[in-house]
Structure 1
Amino acid sequence: MSTLLEVSGVSVTFDGFRAINNLSFQIGPAEMRAIIGPNGAGKTTFMDIVTGKTRPDEGRVLWGEKSQSLTRMSEAKIAQAGIGRKFQRPTVFEDQSVFDNLAMALRKPRGPLAVLWYRPARADAERVHELAAEIGLSDQLSRKSGELSHGQKQWLEIGMLLAQEPRLLLVDEPAAGMTHEEREHTTALLVEAAKTRAVVVVEHDMEFVRRLNCKVTVLHEGAVLAEGSLDHVTANQQVIDVYLGR
């Protein structure tokens, strides 16, 4: 299988604390991966490195078929290259409708003139309706985003990321604060997305991870402790000692 993202021998230190320690990780172009591990394991720092927010002290982060070095690219260029990130708290434009949030997120030229003269074309409206159906918000398009439930806002933000047509989606704790039904819908949404792109989910909820039914990477002290199916990693004594036994 070809590799979309390859992280190789990456380390980063903050004020003497080694947050990432010789970490290596790779994911294919249409693959779901869950990342688990105790607080302070390096999960957020890993996503910060991939998106260019944090620069590693050493190691390589290679992207795409041409193995471009992400460590040489700005955050904006990395996003344009096809890496989308969803943070834990949903960030949507609360005063704008669901339709407008999705329309604003569509992958379009972003120069000053293009933005100034932008008028939604029929194709844009059709794409917004497609996205709304995909995330389960077709009946909410005219509603102000601020009126949505927590779960619906999470779906809208995932929809806004999908609108940018990323090849890799990094999602931080999507199940937090959701009802059982919302979590089931979120699982289906992410599994569907992973059919056509790489999806990395950082999550603490083991039941949610089990439903994703994917390969799991366990981080501890900034390095990979174990990797494999959820059953495989949860049977690993070291994983039990540092994470599951808590």
Structure 2
Amino acid sequence: MSTLLEVSGVSVTFDGFRAINNLSFSIGDAELRAVIGPNGAGKTTFMDIVTGKTKPDEGRVIWGEKSISLLKLSEAKIAQAGVGRKFQKPTVFEDQTVEENLTMALKKPRGWMAVLTYKPTASDRAKVVDLAKQIGLTDALERKSGELSHGQKQWLEIGMLLAQEPRLLLVDEPAAGMTPEEREHTTDILLEAAKTRAVVVVEHDMEFVRRLNCRVTVLHEGAVLAEGSLDHVTSNQDVIDVYLGR
């Protein structure tokens, strides 16, 4: 499997606190990875660095076959290069229908003229129907997004990110606040997405991570503490001491 993202020797300090400490991490082209660790381990800061929200003090973040440095790109350019990020709280356009939300998110030219004159084509509509099927919202296409349940809004936001055809999807605590049935469906969506792109899931819910059945990276104090299957990392004494024993 070729490497899609390589983070190497990255450190960042905020007001004397070292949030990321010589972090090295890589993910393959179509790989599903879970990132776990106690609060303050650097999970969110890691995503902030990859998406360009935070610039590290040192280290490299290399992307794709052409080995592009993401540290030289703006947040918008990183998104255009194929990095999509889902935050914990879903952000959808509540007054628009599910169909309109997905249509707006499709990968299209973003110049003001293109946006003003845009009319969905038959191919665009087919893509939206396909995306709705992927996220399990086919029956809700005509519904206003504000009427959806918390779980459905999360799925819609994942669908909006998939609409942009990212090569890497960063997902922050997707299972938070969901019912068991919604969690199960979220697992299915992420497993399906990871067949054609890299997906990194930051999560606290161990049952959810177990269902993903993927390689797990444990962060602690801004560095990788352990890596491997969930059984492997949860039997690691250091991981038990700093995270699971709490």
Scaled by the length of structure 2, the TM-score of the pair is 1.00
Q: State how far apart, in whole Å, the 2-side matches of 1:215 and 1:67 are.
A: 24
Offset of residue 98 of structure 1 = 0.2
Match of 2:113 in 1: 113
The reply to whether residue 87 of structure 1 matches residue 87 of structure 2 is: yes
Q: Alpha-carbon deviation of 1:212? A: 0.1
Q: Specify the SS of the correspondent of 1:23.
A: strand
The one-letter amino acid paired with 2:119 is R
Provide the secondary structure at the position in 2 that maps to 1:96. coil
Q: Secondary structure at the match of 2:93?
A: coil
Shift of 1:87: 0.2
Q: CA deviation at 1:223?
A: 0.1
What secondary structure, in the 3-state scheme, does the structure 2 residue paired with 1:4 have? Answer: strand
**What amino acid maps onto 1:223 in structure 2?**
A
| Aligned-pair CA distance for 1:134 | 0.4
Aligned to 2:32: 32
% identical aligned pairs:
83
Q: Does 1:56 align with 2:56?
A: yes
Output aligned runs, 1:146-185, within 5 Å.
146-185=146-185
Deviation at 1:111, TM superposition (A): 0.3
1:153-232, aligned counterparts within 5 Å? 153-232=153-232
- State how far apart, in whole Å, the 1-side matches of 2:111 and 2:182 are: 37
Task: Give 1:15's aligned amino acid.
Answer: D
- The number of equivalent residue pairs is 246
The letter of the residue matching 1:220 is H
Task: Determine the C-alpha separation between the residues in 2 that align with 1:118 and 1:10.
Answer: 41
Paired residue type of 2:209: V
C-alpha distance in structure 2 between counterparts of 1:35 and 1:45, whole Å: 12
Question: What displacement does 1:42 show?
Answer: 0.1
Equivalent residue for 2:43? 43
User: Shift in Å at residue 130 of structure 1?
Assistant: 0.3
1:119-151 CA distance string (max 9 Å, x none): 111110100000000000000000000000000
CA shift at 1:180, angstroms? 0.5
1:244 deviates by 0.2
Cα distance, 1:24 vs structure 2:
0.2
What's the TM-score once normalised by structure 1's chain length?
A: 1.00
Give the distance between the partners of 2:211 and 2:245, measured in 1 at CA.
21
Give the Cα–Cα distance (whole angstroms) in 2 for the partners of residues 152 and 95 of structure 1. Answer: 15
Q: Which residue of 2 aligns with 1:17?
A: 17
* Cα distance between partner residues in 1 of 2:240 and 2:50: 28
What CA distance in whole angstroms lies between the structure 1 residues aligned with 2:66 and 2:214? 26
Cα distance between partner residues in 2 of 1:53 and 1:39: 19
Partner in structure 1 of residue 131 of structure 2: 131
For 1:140 and 1:30, locate their aligned partners in 2 and report how far apart those are by CA, in whole Å. 29
Paired with 2:93 and 2:57, the residues of 1 have a C-alpha distance of 36
Aligned to 1:122: 122
Shift, 1:209, TM fit: 0.1
Spell out, residue by residue over 1:186-216, the C-alpha distance to the aligned partner (whole angstroms, 9 max, x if none): 0000000000000000000000000000000
Note the residue ranges of structure 2 that are not aligned, 5 or more in a row.
none
Match of 1:68 in 2: 68
CA RMSD of aligned residues (A): 0.3
Q: Which runs of 4+ in 1 moved over 3 A?
A: none
- 2:237 corresponds to: 237
Report the Cα distance in structure 2 between the residues aligned to 1:222 and 1:44, rounded to whole angstroms.
Answer: 10
| SS of aligned partner of 2:133 | helix
